[in-house]
Amino acid sequence: MKKFTKHLLSIALLLALVLSFAGCGQSAPQETPSDPKPESNMAETAHKQEAEPIQPPQPEAPPAEPVAPPEPVSMNDALFIGDSRVTGLMEYSGLSADFFTCEGMSVYNIHDKPLSVPNVGKMTLTELLSHKSYGKIYVMLGINELGYNLEQTIGVYSDLVNTIRELQPNATLFIMGNLHVTEAMSTSHSYIKNSTIDAFNNKLSQMANGETIFYMDVNSEFDDGHGNLAEEYTSDGAHPYAKHYIHWGEWIAMQSAFLIKEE
């Protein structure tokens, strides 16, 4: 019995020794669960979704109301001063204005002699400006002066403007740019050239102050797209056909309204 008991103790001791060696080996790897999203981030996302309510669709803005163009100005109180192309306006445009005009008029001879002004009488420009008050005065001169020195001519033109302002202080003055000539005339004439007309018109535009003196240039209405009077508008290269003066007169009345409105 003692031997049997002793034998059992030996087996138990041997088994304990084996188990102790197995415990010193590498432990089996344990499965690592994937990292869950922090609860704080999930809460923040939920908070943002609650804090940003869905915006209802905004109604479309109504279309802008079209701006009505101003009414053309009346010409009942207007005076036109100029050369033969202004004479064309007098004869064919239908404008109800006074006209001090003749063929060949220039800033150099404008004060030389009296002219017959329809419905007014025969008088010099100074007499006319002293005799009758005007609300609007239009001047178109320059084509007959292109053979002179540019700066000299602009100086005389400026003197004319000052005279008009002195005698008609309440009138709005419109300086009209000179109409181009056709390409054929511009390339063949000795001094009437569109490049010179443009240089002259540029000087005229600088006289405008946007308050009492305005500059207007009708060339955009009659040009061929290359800075020349279109051939279909003229027979002599310089003067529009009679039928086109009606459009020119309408343009003047409308352009005047735009310029005065912007004042």
Residue 38 confidence (pLDDT) above 90: no
Percent of the chain with pLDDT over 90: 71
Residue 206: band (very low, low, confident or very high) from pLDDT cuts 50, 70, 90: very high
Residue 26: band (very low, low, confident or very high) from pLDDT cuts 50, 70, 90: very low
Q: How far apart are CA 187 and CA 204, in angstroms?
A: 23
For residue 261, the model assigns a pLDDT of: 81
- Give yes or no for a contact between 130 and 136, defined as CB atoms under 8 angstroms apart: no
Percent of the chain with pLDDT over 70: 75
Please name every residue paired with 115 in a beta bridge, in sequence order, or none if there are none. 123
Q: What average pLDDT is seen over the chain?
A: 85
For residue 67, the model assigns a pLDDT of: 67
Q: How far apart are CA 223 and CA 245, in angstroms?
A: 15
Residue 205 confidence (pLDDT) above 70: yes
**β pairing state of 115-117 and 121-123:** antiparallel
Which of these, 153, 159, 140, 150, lies nearest to 199 by C-alpha position?
150
Which of these, 104, 97, 136, lies nearest to 120 by C-alpha position?
97
Of residues 32 and 55, more confidence is placed in 55
For residue 2, the model assigns a pLDDT of: 46
Radius of gyration of the chain (CA): 47
In 136-249 the beta strands, taken as DSSP E runs, fall at 136-140, 172-176, 213-216
Read off the tokens for 226. 């290359």
Please name every residue paired with 216 in a beta bridge, in sequence order, or none if there are none. 176
Residue 6 confidence (pLDDT) above 60: no
Q: How far apart are CA 137 and CA 165, in angstroms?
A: 10
Mean predicted confidence (pLDDT) in 135-153: 97
- Give yes or no for a contact between 118 and 97, defined as CB atoms under 8 angstroms apart: no
Residue 30: band (very low, low, confident or very high) from pLDDT cuts 50, 70, 90: very low
Q: What are phi and psi of 35, to 5 degrees?
A: -70, 125
